[in-house]
Chains A and B, each alone.
Chain A
Amino acid sequence: MLGLTPRPPALKGRMPRTSLISYDRVRKTFPGPVVAVDDVSLAIAEGEFLAIVGGSGSGKTTLLRLTNRLIALDGGTIRIGGEDIAGLEPVALRRRIGTVFQNGALFPHMTVAANIGITPRLLGTPANEIAVRVDELLDLVQLDRKAYRDRLPDALSGGQRQRVGVARALAARPRIVLMDEPFGALDPLTRDALGRDYRALHDTLALTTLMITHDITEALLLADRIAVMRGGRLIAIGTPAELAASREPYVAELMTTPRRQAARLAALLPESGAA
C-alpha cells in the first residue's frame, strides 16, 4: 500500500491497559449556545498514537484545547497520568505537554534556535544546555544544524517550518504530544515524508500522541487507533480494522473513501505507472 508505516506489534489491535490520558463525560459549550464537545469519554494508552478525525465543527479541536487547558471545560473530567488536570496549574501543564500547531505557528521574530528552545528557556534551563538540546533536535527532525539554527521562520519552506514546529514541541522532553492539523497545509510529498518521520520519532521516543486531522487517509496511515467525532459527539473509536467493520453510516462512508479514491486513481493512471 501507500507506504504504510509498521506499528509496534504490542499495541496493534489491542485495547490499552494503562491509560495516560482519559476523558470522562467531557462537555464544552460556547456562548450561542453551541455544544462543541458533548459527553465525550475516551482513554489514550501510554505510547499510543490516537488520531481524532472529523469535519469542521465536529469538536475535535476543542477537545485538544481542553486537554492543555487553553480553554476550560464545562463538565466531566480529564485526567493525565491519573491526575485531574483541573487541579494542575495550566502553565506548568502546558510546559509538560508538547504541542504542534497548524502551519507551525513559529514566532516570526525569533530564530529557529530560539523557537525550538523556548519551552526549556521558560523552564529556566541554562543557555548552554538549551544550545546542545537545540542541535540534538535539529538532528532529530533532519535539519542541518549550521544551516538552520540562526534562520528566521520566514526563510523556511512550509515543510521545514513544521519540522521546526515538531522540534519545538519535543524540546522539553514531553511524554505527550498534541498535534492540531500539523501537516494539513503541506504539499502531498512533504506531507507524506513528514508524517512518516514523525511516526518514527513517536516510536523511538515512546511518545503518546493525540493528533487532530480531517483527513481519514492520513489518520489511517499514521495512527494506532482512530476516534471519529461528529457534531461534538464521539461516534466511533477503534483500530482501522475495527472501524472498517462499523455499521455507523458516517463511519462506514468515511472508511470506504480511501479505497474508492484508490480505485478511481487506478482507473485513471496507466498500468505501467502503478507500483
Chain B
Amino acid sequence: MNLLSDPRVDEALSHLADYLGSHLRVSIAALALGLVVSFPLALAARNSPSLRNLLLGLASVVQTVPGLALLALFYPLLLALAALSLRWFGLSFSAFGFLPAVLALALYSMLPVLRNTITGLNGVDASLIEAAKGVGMTERQALTMVELPLALPVIMAGIRTAAVWVIGTATLSTPIGQTSLGNYIFAGLQTQNWVLVVFGCVAAAVLALAVDQLLALIENGLRRRSRARIGIGTATIALMVGASLLPSLAGSSARYVIGAKTFTEQYVLAALLGERLQAAGLSATSRAGLGSSVIYEALKNGDIDAYVDYSGTLWANQAHHTEQLPRAALLDALKQDLARDKVTLLGELGFENAYALVMPRKTAETLGIRSIADLARHTREMSIAGDYEFFSRPEWAALRDAYGLAFRAQRQMQPDFMYAAVASGEVDVIAGYTSDGLIAKYDLVVLDDPRHAIPPYDAILLLAPKRSGDRALQDALRPLLGRIDIATMQQANLRASGSDAESSPQAVARWLWSRISK
C-alpha cells in the first residue's frame, strides 16, 4: 500500500496547519511563561538553600502528577477563578482550552529549567566568582559576564528538556479543549484509525526535534558569540510562532463550535451537526476529544455552542441525582435542571446509548444466560471489564446491589478494546454501550435488565445559553431530532470503527444523513 496515496493521510494533512499551529502556539506560550517564572526563581534560590529545596521539591511534586491529570486539574481551578473574577471585578475569561493548557504546561516545564539553572550556577568554580569580584565586577556583572556564560550549557540543556517535554505533553491538552496534535491521537485512538495516531505522534516528535535543534543552535551561538547563529535560531522560532498565528486568525471566523467527547459516536455526531450547519449556510468548527465533565461546563460557559450528551449521564454527573426515574419523567426533570444553567435541551435524537452488560452470544447460550439476573449466578467465576469511569459511576453500584453481582476480577480498558477482549475470552463480561456497532460485529449479546437498575441514556442535543434564541441554529439542527434509531447508530459506529477512507467521521456523518433524510 502506498501510504501517501492513503485518503486518511489526505484527511490528516487537511488539519495539519490548524493542529500544528495551535500546538506550537500553546507550547511556546507555556515554555515562555515557564522560563519567565522559573528563571528569576532560580536566581533567587541560588544563594538560599532553603528556597532552593522548597522550589525543587515543589517542581518535583508537580512532575510526579501525570500530564493528563495536571491538565485536567487546571480546568476546574480556572473555572472557579473565572467565577470569582466575574463576581469581584466583573471580568470573565474562558477557562477552556488555551489558558488552562498554557498554565499546566508552564508548570510542567519548570522542573528542568529550575534544576538546571540552579545546578549550572552552583557548578561554577568558586575561585572564578571570587576572581570576578576581584577584578571589579558588581554582583550583577559577575552573574551576567561570568556565572551565566559558564552555566549556559547546563541551563540550555534544561530549557531544551523543558521544550521537548512541553511539546510532547501538549498532545494531552485536547481533552480540555485546546486544539493540538493530540487531536490526531485522540481521534485516531477512538476511531481505531492508526494512521491518524501515528501521524499525530510523528508530527509532535518532528516539532519537538525541530525546536530542540533550534535551541541548540541558539546555545551554540551564545557560546561562540555568533550573532548569526543566535539570529537564525531566534528568527526561525519567531517565524514558526508567527506562522502558527495565521490559521487561527483565518479560522476564527467560524461562528459555531460543536463539541465532541472522546469516543467514536461523538466524533460522528459532531461531524453530523457540523455538516447540517454548513448545509444551512452557517460556518462551524469542532472541538473534539473533550473530557466528559469538561464538555458540559464548556457549553454552559459558551466555549462551545452545541453537542450531544446522554440523559442518564447528565442526570447522575451534572445534576447529581441518585434516584432512578422512568425515561419520560427523567427527561422532564432533567430539562428543568438544565434550564437552571440556561442550557437548552433541543430534543432527543431517537436512540439510546446506555451502559449494558455484554457477553459473547455463544457463552450466553451455553450457560443459559439471558438477563443480568441469570448472570448473577455465575459471576464468582467471571471477570468483567469496563471503561475508565464505569466502576466509579452510580450505575455500577446500582447494578451490583440490584442483582448481587460479585465478579472474580474487574478491569478498566480503553472502550474500543473491550469488545475484542470479551470476544476473545480475555474477559467474560463487559460493560459496553448499547449503540456500539462492535456488538453486532463480534456477535455479542446485550443482557436484559429486568430490574431497571441502569437509567435511560437517551441521546439529547444541547445548546449553549447564548444560543437559546438562535432560530437559524435550531432550524438547522431540528431535522435530526427523533430520526436516528439504535440500529442506524450502531451501523454508523461500526462504519466509523473501520480503517478505510469511508470510516472518517465526516464520511460516516454523510452516510448517516443520507440514511435518515430519506
Task: Please give the residue numbers on chain A whose beta carbons come within 8 Å of chain B beta carbons, in ascending order.
Answer: 68, 70, 91-92, 94-95, 99, 101-103, 105-109, 118-119, 122-123, 168, 172
Contact = CB atoms under 8 A, between A and B. Distances in A.
Nearest to B134: A99
Contacts of A103: 127
B329 interface: no
B401 interface: no
A97 to B, nearest CB: 9
A105 B149 contact: no
Given A118-B135, A122-B141, A101 B150 contact: no
Given A94-B133, A105-B131, A107-B150, 12 more contacts: A70-B130, A70-B134, A91-B136, A91-B137, A91-B138, A94-B134, A95-B136, A101-B131, A103-B127, A105-B128, A107-B132, A108-B128
A102 B130 CA distance: 11
> Which are the 3 A-B pairs with shortest beta-carbon distances?
A95-B136, A105-B131, A99-B134
A119 B135 contact: yes
B146 interface: yes
A101 B136 CA distance: 13
Contacts of B132: 107
A94 B136 contact: yes
12 contacts: A94-B136, A101-B131, A103-B127, A106-B131, A107-B128, A107-B132, A108-B128, A109-B223, A118-B135, A118-B137, A122-B135, A168-B135
Nearest to A104: B131
B136 A119 contact: yes
Main secondary structure of the interface of B (DSSP, over half): helix
Interface string B105-136: 00000000000000000000001101111111
Interface of B: 127-128, 130-138, 141, 145-146, 149-150, 223
B134 A102 contact: no
Contact of A107 (B136, B146, B223): B146
Interface of A is mostly: loop
A92 B149 CA distance: 24
Contacts of B141: 122
B344 to A, nearest CB: 66
Nearest to A69: B133
Contacts of B134: 68, 70, 94, 99, 101, 105
Contacts of A92: 136
A99 B138 contact: no
A91 B139 CA distance: 9
B137 A122 contact: yes
A161 to B, nearest CB: 12
A91 B145 CA distance: 15
Contacts of B223: 109
A107 B148 CA distance: 12
Contacts of B131: 99, 101, 105-107
Nearest to B152: A109
A168 B132 CA distance: 12
A180 B11 CA distance: 72
Contacts of A122: 135-137, 141
A105 B124 CA distance: 12
A70 B150 contact: no
A123 B150 CA distance: 23
A94 B150 contact: no
A155 to B, nearest CB: 15
Contacts of B128: 105, 107-108
A172 B135 CA distance: 10
B149 A109 contact: yes
A70 B127 CA distance: 12
A210 to B, nearest CB: 13
Question: Which of B130, B131, B132, B150 has the most C-beta atoms of chain A within 10 angstroms of its own C-beta?
Answer: B131
A107 B137 CA distance: 13
A119 B146 CA distance: 13
A64 to B, nearest CB: 10
Given A101-B127, A101-B130, A101-B131, A109 B150 contact: yes
A119 B138 CA distance: 11
Contact of B133 (A70, A108, A109): A70
A94 B133 CA distance: 8
A191 to B, nearest CB: 19
A193 B435 CA distance: 94
Contacts of A109: 146, 149-150, 223
A134 to B, nearest CB: 14
A95 B137 CA distance: 8
A101 B137 CA distance: 15
Nearest to A102: B127
A129 B133 CA distance: 23
A58 B427 CA distance: 79
